[in-house]
Structure 1
Amino acid sequence: MTEKQVKQRWVDIKKTITARPLLAYLTGIPYNEWNQYMSSFPSASEINRIYDNIRDDRTQKTKRIKDELQNIVGYREAKQFSKKIGVSDSTIREIIEEKKLVAGYSIINRLEVFINVINPTFELSIENPLSKEIIVKDEFEEIINDVRNISNSLLRESFELTDVAKNMKAKLDWHKEISHPAKGIDYTIERLKEVREKISLIYETYIENK
């Protein structure tokens, strides 16, 4: 690797360790040298050593997840479970089929929490920053934002319906064609269905199943 590539690797490693601080311990970074490590560039050999340790850790965690997923998720069920977990069905299949041997920590975090909900005897990695409470909070914040946006859309629809009643004609769309007054409502109904599905998935997976 070039010096530039090694330095970029260290930048990436620091981001990973910052997100999962206990990795510093697992990779053998001395506690009393933490600040020095984070503010400078260790030798290339040390950077590669830490990189290899992190990769080994990800490999072990991916295998542990794979062993559990094979008992929980069937090949045909991957798509259904992907919505609950927040990980793509293709990634789930690749892990189950051992095509993906080294998953990223963001995937590992999500899968560990999901498996722990299904099987409480499966312990989360000690450095996993996620929990089902955090996932529910983050997902519901996104859902709440969607609901507010839909609410604003409905308010705009009410104004447009007022104009239709006042002018006795429907508005024109971007193509200068007549737009049915209920078109916006139909679109909103579809968005509400999607939001309802999200709520049900999160509730049934992480709240009801506890």
Structure 2
Amino acid sequence: MIKFYFHHTPNPMKVALFLEEAALPYQLVPIDVFRGEQHNPAFRAINPNGKMPAIEDDGVRVFDSNAILLYLGDKTGQFIGQTANRGELLSWLMFVATGLGPYSGQAVHFTHYAPEKLPYAINRYQREAQRHYQVLDQQLNNQDYLAGNEYTIADIAAWGWIDRAPGVLGDNALEVYPNLKRWYERVNSRPAVSRARQVGKELIFKTEMDEEALRAMFPQNYAVA
């Protein structure tokens, strides 16, 4: 059975959605990132990068949410589109991995968590997030999904971050991107999304962004004693 190392953050939620879509059995292994459990040696043996999420599949470790989606898609043959669209699927999957995800995360960090409000940094990352939203909006102008008219892991990957649009760009962020909003509503209406949102609801994670959480989430900001 798949062991799914989980926290209620955007990247693990992508994997939760795939697992629910594919009806794959899995064992949830909670990792409280606000308490620094992602830095424990046991978890570092699964993901040397100390980030969420990761999976173990009968002795095979896979880390990074987009790598996990690709691995599970290839393993099951589900949500990987048509062979003719493979280049499109991989391109949009990497667009999420290298653009939408990281820049959205930095926009959240500098807007909400940085100890100093740095206008340059906030502007830089919010503008880049907006640019990524615009790229997605344009791609979805004449098609239902990112890699054509078939729901794939590219859509699952993008959903993880677009679902957090209010935290990235503020309330009603999608109103100026009508195609992206329509896509989001289409994906969001899938029954698996409702199931994914319930994954780990019974778990009690630390929620306070106090010094312990800041040191756990952003250890590079602190000098090593």
Structure ranking higher in strand proportion: 2
TM-score, shorter chain, exceeding 0.5: no
- Using the size of structure 1 for normalisation, the TM-score is 0.24
- Using the size of structure 2 for normalisation, the TM-score is 0.23
Larger radius of gyration: 1
Structure ranking higher in helix proportion: 1
